[in-house]
């Protein structure tokens, strides 16, 4: 899911279809448009569409799983710190990865190596939580301390939380140190 923004940007950068905006333009038809996509020069763009569809399905699955009941009772969370600014650091990293020229085979190979390295780093760390698309979908990123947990925890939540006081919330584990924070029960 964290790679979706890269897929979108690389799609627009690598797609090679005839575009003409003159006064006498005429649509070439869906069949001809799809035939353009199946040419070898558009293989990267087609792979990106597959990646976008895969990312969206992962997001829908995650949303479905998180609609259930929390796996914990409400606990006290202290030292809440908003980490939304972290979304910008990953965005700038993504922009540097996408700045490759896809006309040369060597550049494509270098891009694929960096892309795979980036994917491995996202998988092996909790850096995926700083995905800018999560912020665009309304998620906030927080770090906080929960009693009986030795390290800080990263929380994702649609709720905007004030950091000046201790809060009580239920949460659900997403990965080792990342949790989904449920809204305050009323």
Q: Can you give the pLDDT at residue 163?
A: 67
Q: Find out whether 124 and 84 touch, Cβ atoms under 8 Å.
A: no
Q: What is the pTM of this model?
A: 0.66
Per-residue burial over 150-173, b if 16 or more Cβ lie within 10 Å, else e, is eeebbbbbeeebeeeeebebbbee
Which pair of structure tokens corresponds to residue 11?
Answer: 């799609």
Give the total residue count for the chain: 186
Summarize the confidence of residues 117-133 as an average pLDDT: 74
Highest mean pLDDT among 25-34, 68-77, 144-153: 25-34
Residue 43 lies in a domain: yes
CA distances from 30 to 33, 34, 37, 41 (A): 5, 6, 11, 18
Number of structural domains in the chain:
1
Q: Is residue 106 part of a domain?
A: yes
Residue 88 lies in a domain: yes
Residue 10 lies in a domain: yes
Q: Model confidence over 15-45: pLDDT tens digits?
A: 887 777 788 888 778 888 777 777 767 788 8
Q: Above 90 in pLDDT, residue 82? A: no
The mean per-residue pLDDT over the stretch 163-175 comes to: 75
Asked whether residue 18 is domain-assigned, the answer is yes
Would you state the pLDDT for residue 104? 78
Per-residue pLDDT at 121? 78
45 falls within a domain? yes
Domain extent for 165: 4-181
Which of 128 and 6 is assigned the larger pLDDT? 6
For 9-23, give one letter per residue: b (16+ CB within 10 A) or e. Answer: bbbeebbeeeeeeee
Q: For residue 186, tell me if it sits in a domain.
A: no
Write the pLDDT tens digit of every residue in 3-15. 788 888 888 888 8
Top pLDDT among 150 and 63 is at: 63
| pLDDT, mean over the chain | 78
Task: Please state the rounded mean pLDDT for residues 79-86.
Answer: 78
In a domain, 35, yes or no: yes
For the stretch 36-71, pLDDT in tens is 777 767 788 888 899 999 989 988 887 787 776 666
The 10s digit of each residue's pLDDT in 94-114 is 777 777 777 778 888 888 888
């Amino acid at each position: 899911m964290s790679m979706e923004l890269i897929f979108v940007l690389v799609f627009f950068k690598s797609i090679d279809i005839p575009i003409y905006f003159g006064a006498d333009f005429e649509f070439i038809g869906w069949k001809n448009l799809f035939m353009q996509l199946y040419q070898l020069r558009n293989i990267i763009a087609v792979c990106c569409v597959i990646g976008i569809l895969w990312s969206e399905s992962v997001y829908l699955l995650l949303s479905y799983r998180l609609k259930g009941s929390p796996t914990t009772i409400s606990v006290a969370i202290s030292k809440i710190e908003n980490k939304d600014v972290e979304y910008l650091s990953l965005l700038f990293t993504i922009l540097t990865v996408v700045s490759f020229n896809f006309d040369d085979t060597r550049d494509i190979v270098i891009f694929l190596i960096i892309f795979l390295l980036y994917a491995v780093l996202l998988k092996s760390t909790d850096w995926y939580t700083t995905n800018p698309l999560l912020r665009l979908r309304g998620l906030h990123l927080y770090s906080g301390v929960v009693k009986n947990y030795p390290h800080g925890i990263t929380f994702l939540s649609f709720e905007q939380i004030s950091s000046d006081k201790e809060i009580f919330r239920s949460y659900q584990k997403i990965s080792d140190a990342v949790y989904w924070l449920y809204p305050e029960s009323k």
